[in-house]
Amino acid sequence: MSSADRGFVYLAYGESYIKEAAHSALSLKAYHDEPISIIVPPGESSQFLEGFDQVISSELSRTYFDKTLIRLSPYKYTIHLDTDTLVLASLDDIFLLLEKFDVALNFGKGGSHYNLPEIPDSFPEPSAGVIAWAKNKSTQQLFELWEEFYACSIRRWGPEGAWDQRSLREALFHSNARIAPLLDRYQLISFFPAVVMSTVSIIHGRDISSSMVLTSVKRDGLRIFIPKLGTFGFDVPPPYRTFVYFRLSLCALRRFCELLVRDFLAYASIKPYPVQSRKG
């Protein structure tokens, strides 16, 4: 794979999201010389667009359907990043996957609260925050299916429930694409606890703290990621280890209480589950 065939693509609209994408691209440039493109609506103007090698103009609906437009990437091998990502290491390993696979992405922890025709529960919901793909017939079919199933989602759940990840889940299942799952360290969600083994390559979220960054880079071994704090291994000094475990317990307790209140309100018919949005 030649580096000339590789590139990155963002999708954004409006000054705040374009600025956010430019910040993410700046972190990416610390590790990559490949070109970076951004897809924006026609007539979009921002000083932050100057940080991109190519600006691709396309009509955007400002819904989750827009995510399917990343197919407009001009590169043979592409990595798409959401605007609220921070790159902490080289992503060369993801590009290497595209020599054997058609698409590489991380599978999330959601998707158990809704049913899709012909999709078993054992096929998880993907995350659309970091997607890598090789331009070929299989991925062309994948993007066509994604658009098709997104339209089906609108008919099934209405515009509010037509999530990009629901329709992508169906598209991946029905496509001929060879799928490579990415480890959590290639998309560490800032607000979800996780377990990682190596240096974190990407943190995804709008609440990324300096502590998260400092404790996530250039560290190996089994570690626990704690939202707002960062990643910690078993070599944490005892006094601070107690604080870390206490903070992790609070995170777990808070999440338990949120789910308990949500379930109580639903069973008491006070506030039903939002069928057109994700839960869990």
pLDDT at residue number 280: 34
Q: Which residues, at least 6 apart from 16, have a Cβ–Cβ distance to it below 8 Å? A: none
48-62, 86-100, 264-278: least confidently modelled range: 264-278
Residue 44 counted as domain residue: yes
pLDDT band at 155 (very low <50, low <70, confident <90, very high): confident
Same domain as 195, residue 108:
no
18-22, 37-41, 46-50, 178-182: least confidently modelled range: 46-50
Return d(Cα 225, Cα 163) in angstroms, integer: 27
Same domain as 251, residue 149:
no
Asked if pLDDT for residue 4 goes beyond 60, the answer is yes
Asked if pLDDT for residue 244 goes beyond 80, the answer is no
Residue 276 counted as domain residue: no
Asked if pLDDT for residue 69 goes beyond 80, the answer is yes
Mean pLDDT across 107-117: 77
Ranges of H-type helices in 125-236: 137-157, 164-174, 210-216
Beta bridge partners of 77: 6, 134
How many domains are contained in the chain?
Answer: 2
Mean pLDDT across 104-120: 82
The predicted-structure confidence for 121-150, as pLDDT tens digits, reads as follows 889 999 999 999 999 999 999 999 999 999
Residue 202 counted as domain residue: yes
Same domain as 173, residue 48:
yes
pLDDT at residue number 182: 96
Same domain as 173, residue 212:
no
Residue 72 counted as domain residue: yes
Same domain as 247, residue 115:
no
Same domain as 89, residue 49:
yes
Residue 175 counted as domain residue: yes
pLDDT at residue number 231: 76
The answer to whether the beta carbons of residues 52 and 22 sit under 8 Å apart is yes
Residue 275 counted as domain residue: no
Domain limits at 29?
3-182
Asked if pLDDT for residue 5 goes beyond 80, the answer is yes
Q: What's the predicted TM-score (pTM) here?
A: 0.83
Residue 197 counted as domain residue: yes
Return d(Cα 165, Cα 174) in angstroms, integer: 14
* CATH number of the domain within which 100 lies: 3.90.550.10
Same domain as 227, residue 119:
no
pLDDT at residue number 278: 38
Residue 277 counted as domain residue: no
AA letter at 7: G
pLDDT at residue number 251: 67
| CA angle, 133 then 76 then 198, to 5° | 45
Mean pLDDT across 60-69: 91
Same domain as 214, residue 172:
no
pLDDT at residue number 258: 76
Q: Which residues, at least 6 apart from 170, have a Cβ–Cβ distance to it below 8 Å? A: 116, 119, 145, 149, 152
Asked if pLDDT for residue 277 goes beyond 50, the answer is no
The predicted-structure confidence for 84-96, as pLDDT tens digits, reads as follows 999 999 999 999 9
Among the three residues 160, 182, 204, which one is the final residue of a domain in this structure?
182
